[in-house]
Amino acid sequence: MRGLQAEGGAPVAGPAAAPAAAKRRTRLVAVLVALAAVVYVIDVITKTVVLRALEGKAPLVVIPDVLQFRVIFNSGAAFSLGTGMTIVFTFIAAAVVVAIIRTARKLLSLPWAIALGLLLGGAFGNLTDRLLRYPSGFGRSTQFQGHVVDFVEVLPGHFPVIDYFPVFNVADSSIVCGGILAVLLAWRGYQIDGSREGK
């Protein structure tokens, strides 16, 4: 059968193809996990430092009228959107984490590993706040409703109609960058399994 396929021009995968793909998948999953861990650690550290230094205090101006650090507690989604839907965003973040973990089983693309790593690290960062920060927390009746710490404010005072916009954190930035990269990859036809549509 292998001889007939080869004569007919059909590609025949060698016996080493499956182990090689598995080895590549393992390396790419390691990249995904490492990137997610870096994003998560930076997010937790920056939130902790900012809370200790600025909670209850005046904003720290980095570049006048362009960038400042100001602590707010966000019950909504990224960039303080959708406040009042905390529990919904908690389950969305959890679903994103599960979906990325399941998708990693097909991962054979480095750009997709980077995109998913950014998304996973950001989702974990904000999900930690949802589960552990006030008013959520162990033993409280408001489970899954913790407020996310946002502190990076660009162009302060230039959006009077929208309260606290845009104010974000490292996790939000990671989610947005990962999402943009994923959209670009999908638009260009790059697949998670390393193939490309039309090629």
Residues marked active site are found at 150, 172
Give the span between the Cα atoms of 54 and 155, in whole angstroms.
19
What tokens appear for 27 in the block? 């390396």
**Strand ranges of the sheet holding 67-74, from the earlier edge strand across to the other edge:** 60-63, 67-74, 148-154, 167-168
Are residues 191 and 109 in contact, defined by beta-carbon separation less than 8 angstroms? yes
**Angle, CA of 159, 162 and 164, to the nearest 5°:** 80
Give, in order, the Cα–Cα distances in Å from 181 to each of 12, 133, 136, 141, 173: 33, 30, 32, 38, 12
Q: How many distinct helices (H) and strands (E) make up the chain?
A: 5, 4
What tokens appear for 101 in the block? 């973990």
Q: Where are the beta strands (DSSP E) in the chain?
A: 60-63, 67-74, 148-154, 167-168
DSSP state for residue 63 in the 8-state scheme: E
Q: At 94, which helix (H) or strand (E)?
A: helix 86-103
